[in-house]
Copies of this chain bind each other. A is one copy, B any other.
Amino acid sequence: MSKSVVFEVDVMFGDCDPAGIVFFPNFSKWMDASSLNFFMQCGVPPWRELVKTSGIIGTPLLEIHTKFMQPATYGERLQIHTCIVEWRDKVFIHEHRVQRGSDLLCEGRETRAFCIRHPQHPERMKAIAIPEHIKALCQ
């Protein structure tokens, strides 16, 4: 396991669809923001800084799996509870629980890898072994 960090989101009118509820890809956007916030709260610099010292450009997604239990709408404040539930050699698994107070609205798992620019093909990315010092910061 890892630290658990909470990220808050105020749902905007423009986040909602013609059914009047949050358009579901926004939950993925917020989980992504909560992932970055998790690392920054653990003491990892934002990607635009980290790339200068380590070449790491971020943690792109390999896979997402999300369940939607209850809708949300504009004017509501949500909390995203984020942690890392598994570290493998080259990937890690984020878990995000989107809550409105104690109500669980949505639950997601992301598989991500730390990536650098591919040495030969800079337009591509290349996964690297999970940096030990970053892993240590998150625990």
Which residues on A are within 8 Å of B, measured CB to CB? 10, 12-14, 16-20, 23-26, 28-30, 32-33, 36, 40, 46-48, 57-58, 60-68, 71, 73-75, 125
How distant is the Cα of A71 from the Cα of B62 in the complex, in angstroms?
A: 11
Question: Can you offer 10 A-B residue contacts whose CB atoms are under 8 A?
Answer: A12-B33, A13-B36, A14-B25, A17-B17, A24-B60, A25-B25, A25-B28, A64-B66, A65-B66, A71-B125
**Interchain CB contact under 8 A, A14 and B32:** yes
Residues of chain B with a CB closer than 8 A to A71's CB: 60, 125
Cβ 8 A contact of A47, one of B18, B30, B47, B65 = B18
Task: Kindly provide the distance from the CB of A96 to the nearest chain B CB, expressed in whole angstroms.
Answer: 13
